[in-house]
Amino acid sequence: MKTKIWGAVLLLIFVQSCQIEGENLSLNDLPQPSFEAEEIGPGRIKLTNTTSTPTIARWTIMSSGQKLEGDVVEVNLIFGGSYDVKLDVTGQGGMASVTKTVSVSADDPEACSDEKLLGFLASCTQKTWRLNPEAGAFKVGPGPDNGDWWSSGTADIVTRSCEFDDEFTFSFNAEGTFAYDNKGDFFADGYLGNKTAGCEPAGNLKGDQALWNSGTFQYGVVEGAGVKKLGQLRLMGKGAHIGVKKAHNGGETDTGPVRDYVLYDILDMQKDVNGQGYDLLKIGVNIGGDGWWTFTLRSFE
């Protein structure tokens, strides 16, 4: 009988303990996110998290995919017009989001300057780039601009001629138009098309790999971001890419694109190289861990 009584007492203590712990762990109500947007200059917007409860604020510019973090951030939207901005907040009660339309009254008059990433990339109208026809135009290794694992050589300029003639054209417009032209062929590289080690016609890209064919996509830039703080380039649209098709953020996939964007870090920008009238742009994509593909482009205006 005593054993039964003590068992009941212990059960009561356990239940009360759980109730107390449950009260301590209960969540507050979901936060109600809100924010204000203030135009502080041509194409320049300040975003302020005005959520009434303490939260962590993360922002997304929906048109470009640009992401920022902090209660107060500034973003350059460059062109006059309307932009959808999403605020995600995390508080004690959980996560919530809100999307609002932000208006920009005027273009940034300095946006197409060579000193700005967008201007360097697209000039004031449009600009076309190809892989730089020199050794090391594309390489992969442990870190950005590192080719310890593999690097293209001088002979590849000929054997991979169907890659070196690919054109990547950036237009200076509010839509962020990016055009990829493979000139009707591609380098199979053992995993594309018929999986040869040479050039094949563009029609050999089948299934999901066909998304890597020539097409028109979108792009966006973020000034001052990336591993070198020189900015980042985001290509948007499934199949949009520069250089090796299988390389994407976090890995390599040879069957077709896995995301609807690829984010490249700007590693170097050189204007009028050796007075020859062309520019060089070096970009990198982290494929996971310390692995990076690096591509060097030359302008052909």
Give the model confidence (pLDDT) of 17-47 as tens digits: 444 444 444 567 899 999 999 999 888 899 9
Cβ density class 275-287: b for 16+ within 10 Å, e for less: eeeebbbbbbbbb
- Residue 127 is encoded by which pair of tokens? 């600009």
Last residue of a domain, one of 104, 129, 149: 104
Query: Length of the chain, please?
Result: 301
Q: Under DSSP, is residue 48 helix (H, G, I), strand (E, B) or coil?
A: strand
Of the listed ranges 63-72, 151-160, 191-200, the least confidently predicted one is 63-72
The number of domains in the chain is 2
Return the pLDDT at 132: 98
Based on the fold, state whether residues 242 and 147 are members of the same structural domain.
yes
The confidence band for 85, taking pLDDT boundaries of 50, 70 and 90, is: very high
For the chain, the average pLDDT equals 91
Domain assignment of residue 16, yes or no: no
Return the pLDDT at 263: 97
Based on the fold, state whether residues 130 and 90 are members of the same structural domain.
no
131 to 36, 106, 238: CA distances (angstroms): 43, 35, 21
At residue 59, does pLDDT exceed 50? yes
Last residue of a domain, one of 104, 136, 159: 104
Return the pLDDT at 27: 63
- Residue 269 is encoded by which pair of tokens? 């920008």
Based on the fold, state whether residues 46 and 147 are members of the same structural domain.
no
Based on the fold, state whether residues 165 and 278 are members of the same structural domain.
yes
Last residue of a domain, one of 104, 131, 152: 104
**What is the pLDDT averaged over residues 137-160?**
98
**What is the pLDDT averaged over residues 234-255?**
97
Return the pLDDT at 9: 39
Chain segment 64-77, per-residue pLDDT in tens:
788 899 999 998 88
Return the pLDDT at 207: 98
- Decide which of 27 and 175 is more confident: 175
Return the pLDDT at 281: 98
For residue 40, the tally of other CB atoms under 10 A from its CB is 10
Domain assignment of residue 209, yes or no: yes
Return the pLDDT at 64: 79
Cβ density class 167-201: b for 16+ within 10 Å, e for less: ebbbbbeeebbbbbbbeebbbbbeebbeeeeebbe
Of the listed ranges 7-16, 70-79, 209-218, 265-274, the least confidently predicted one is 7-16
Element (H, E) at 117: helix 117-122
At residue 55, does pLDDT exceed 90? yes
Angle at Cα 52 formed by Cα 47 and Cα 55, nearest 5°? Answer: 70
Domain assignment of residue 151, yes or no: yes
Based on the fold, state whether residues 79 and 189 are members of the same structural domain.
no
- Residue 197 is encoded by which pair of tokens? 């080690």
The residues with which 287 forms a beta bridge, in sequence order, are: none
The residues with which 218 forms a beta bridge, in sequence order, are: 177, 236
Domain assignment of residue 20, yes or no: no
Return the pLDDT at 138: 96
Return the pLDDT at 66: 83
Domain assignment of residue 29, yes or no: no
Return the pLDDT at 25: 47
Element (H, E) at 8: helix 2-25
Residues 38/45, Cβ–Cβ less than 8 Å: yes
Return the pLDDT at 223: 87
At residue 110, does pLDDT exceed 50? yes
Pairwise CA distance, residues 135 & 19, whole Å = 69
Domain assignment of residue 260, yes or no: yes
- Residue 152 burial by Cβ neighbours in a 10 Å radius (0-12, 13-18, 19+): buried
For residue 60, the enclosing domain spans: 35-104
**What is the pLDDT averaged over residues 86-108?**
94
Domain assignment of residue 4, yes or no: no
Residues 225/201, Cβ–Cβ less than 8 Å: no
The confidence band for 95, taking pLDDT boundaries of 50, 70 and 90, is: very high
Pairwise CA distance, residues 107 & 268, whole Å = 26
Based on the fold, state whether residues 87 and 160 are members of the same structural domain.
no
Domain assignment of residue 196, yes or no: yes
Based on the fold, state whether residues 100 and 132 are members of the same structural domain.
no
Based on the fold, state whether residues 166 and 203 are members of the same structural domain.
yes
